[in-house]
């Protein structure tokens, strides 16, 4: 396949999202940055150095590497990422915050291993399903390897605990198996099993049940379990059509929890209004369109599944984050790709985008 120019529209969408996210983060983080570190832009600087700078290197390297290379090392990468995911439980390495063990500290470096698991899981599933070819309906060729890996991931994230991570792992698998045209019977069976599992998870933890009840009854306990969603809706409503203006958010003054994490979309809507929030939604939709176009024209099945899996992950995670903060689905704790604070998430997302760019150079 002859190499040609990459999809510059896709690249433009990626960097438009990153720039938009940095502007939003700079404004949203001012108050807590000043309070926690005595300077207004600590979180922005941290995101620039440990997120954007490293992510840019990852993007440039991955867009140069032939995407077929990842098929050869998909399994070793997945095993390595699972080892890192298990390292959160090791004394001296695992870091606990808010009763959750989701970070690993190696010297001065701190990162979230599950972000690497998401990408390596996509690589692994794309590899085994593309190898299976016409035998994709064979349990030995696809579902059994997937089931083994998924059980390992489920056990590790369950004890962190990190239900949103478990949900994302299942969503990623569902996207790739759907693209691989697996038998509808298998997909339906897996869907029913997933619903039953998540119902059990909700019933066994009071905070998960609380999130579901708040979704069904937003007016319930506005100063307790319903505080975050009520403050988020207040921020979104306050923004109106054009917003209060950059830097003029009221909710960032410690009224809204997780303002630089999964709640940042509410701050965007408050400061930029319906127009600004709508533009962000448009960028994600445009990104998904260009990404799916690349997947459709990929030169082989591995490229098709890989590009489709990555773009499906990024788009649906963004959709769920924005829908949750608007009260359309229960709160999940998932960050907004390219926008929410988090160096590991930005680095992995940019590397994944680099892989898609490489595929776009070889499309039909």
Q: What is the DSSP string of 137-184?
A: T-TTTTHHHHHHHHHHHHHHHHTTT-HHHHHHHHHHHHHHHHHTT--H
The average pLDDT across 126-149 equals: 70
Alpha-carbon span 269 to 271, nearest angstrom: 6
Nearest to 234 by CA among 332, 347, 331, 327: 327
> Tens of pLDDT along 1-20?
678 899 999 999 999 999 99
In sequence order, the β-bridge partners of residue 101 are 96
In sequence order, the β-bridge partners of residue 105 are 110
The CA–CA distances, whole Å, from 222 to 211, 214, 234, 332 equal 12, 9, 12, 18
Nearest to 310 by CA among 124, 78, 93, 94: 124
The separation between CA 25 and the C-alpha centre of its own chain, rounded to angstroms, equals 17
Which run of H or E residues covers position 101? Answer: strand 100-106
In sequence order, the β-bridge partners of residue 97 are 100
**pLDDT for 141:** 65
**pLDDT for 334:** 87
Secondary structure of residue 63 in the 3-state scheme: helix
Omega cis (within 30) before 246: no
H helix count then E strand count, the chain: 15, 3
**pLDDT for 360:** 95
**pLDDT for 345:** 93
How many residues would you count in the chain? 364
CA neighbours closer than 13 Å in the CB half-sphere of residue 364: 10
**pLDDT for 209:** 61
Structural tokens at position 22: 């940095």
The mean pLDDT value of the chain amounts to 86
**pLDDT for 349:** 96
In sequence order, the β-bridge partners of residue 327 are none
Burial of 215 (0-12, 13-18, 19+ CB in 10 A): middle
Which run of H or E residues covers position 95? Answer: strand 94-97
Residue 27 has pLDDT above 70, yes or no: yes
**Which has the higher per-residue pLDDT, 184 or 315?**
315
Nearest to 232 by CA among 346, 325, 307, 321: 325
In this structure, of 18-32, 67-81, 183-197, the range with the lowest mean pLDDT score is 183-197
Structural tokens at position 10: 């896709």
**Which has the higher per-residue pLDDT, 323 or 177?**
323
**pLDDT for 214:** 65
> Tens of pLDDT along 45-83?
999 999 999 999 999 999 999 999 999 999 999 999 999
Using DSSP bridges, classify how beta strands 94-97 and 109-111 pair: parallel, antiparallel or unpaired.
Answer: unpaired
Contact assessment for residue 74 and residue 120, using Cβ atoms and an 8 Å cutoff: yes
Alpha-carbon span 236 to 80, nearest angstrom: 41
The CA–CA distances, whole Å, from 195 to 33, 70, 93, 190, 361 equal 39, 32, 34, 9, 39
H helix intervals, 159-300: 163-179, 184-203, 206-216, 227-239, 264-296
Using DSSP bridges, classify how beta strands 94-97 and 100-106 pair: parallel, antiparallel or unpaired.
Answer: antiparallel
The CA–CA distances, whole Å, from 172 to 30, 121, 139, 286 equal 34, 8, 19, 20
> Tens of pLDDT along 216-228?
666 666 666 777 8
Residue 355 has pLDDT above 60, yes or no: yes
Residue 205 is classified by DSSP as: -
Nearest to 359 by CA among 281, 306, 282: 306
**pLDDT for 136:** 47
């Amino acid at each position: 396949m002859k190499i040609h120019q990459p999809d510059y529209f896709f690249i433009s969408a990626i960097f438009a999202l990153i720039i938009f996210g940095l502007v939003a983060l700079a404004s949203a983080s001012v108050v807590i940055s000043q309070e926690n570190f005595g300077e207004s832009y600590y979180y922005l600087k941290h995101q620039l150095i440990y997120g954007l700078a490293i992510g840019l290197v990852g993007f440039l390297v991955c867009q140069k590497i032939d995407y077929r290379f990842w098929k050869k090392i998909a399994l070793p990468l997945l095993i390595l990422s699972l080892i890192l995911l298990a390292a959160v439980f090791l004394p001296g390495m695992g870091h606990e915050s808010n009763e959750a063990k989701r970070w690993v500290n190696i010297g001065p470096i701190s990162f979230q291993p599950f972000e690497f698991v998401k990408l390596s899981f996509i690589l692994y599933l794309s590899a085994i399903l593309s190898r299976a070819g016409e035998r994709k309906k064979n349990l030995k060729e696809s579902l059994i390897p997937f089931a083994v890996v998924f059980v390992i991931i489920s056990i590790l994230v369950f004890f962190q605990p990190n239900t949103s991570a478990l949900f994302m792992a299942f969503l990623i698998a569902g996207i790739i198996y759907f693209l691989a045209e697996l038998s509808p019977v298998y997909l339906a069976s897996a869907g029913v099993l997933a619903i039953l599992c998540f119902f059990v998870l909700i019933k066994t933890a009071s905070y998960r049940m609380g999130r579901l009840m708040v979704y069904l009854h937003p007016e319930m306990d506005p100063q307790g379990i319903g505080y975050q969603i009520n403050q988020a809706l207040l921020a979104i409503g306050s923004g109106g059509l054009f917003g209060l203006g950059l830097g003029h958010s009221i909710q960032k003054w410690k009224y809204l929890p997780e303002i630089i994490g999964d709640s940042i979309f509410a701050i965007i809507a408050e400061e930029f209004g319906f127009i600004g929030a709508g533009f962000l939604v448009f960028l994600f939709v445009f990104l998904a369109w260009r990404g799916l176009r690349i997947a459709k024209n990929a030169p082989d099945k591995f490229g098709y599944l890989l590009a489709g899996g990555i773009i499906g992950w990024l788009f649906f995670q963004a959709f769920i984050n924005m829908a949750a903060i608007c009260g359309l689905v229960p709160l999940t704790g998932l960050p907004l790709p390219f926008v929410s604070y988090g160096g590991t998430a930005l680095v992995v997302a940019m590397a994944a985008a680099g892989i898609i760019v490489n595929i776009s150079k070889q499309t039909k």
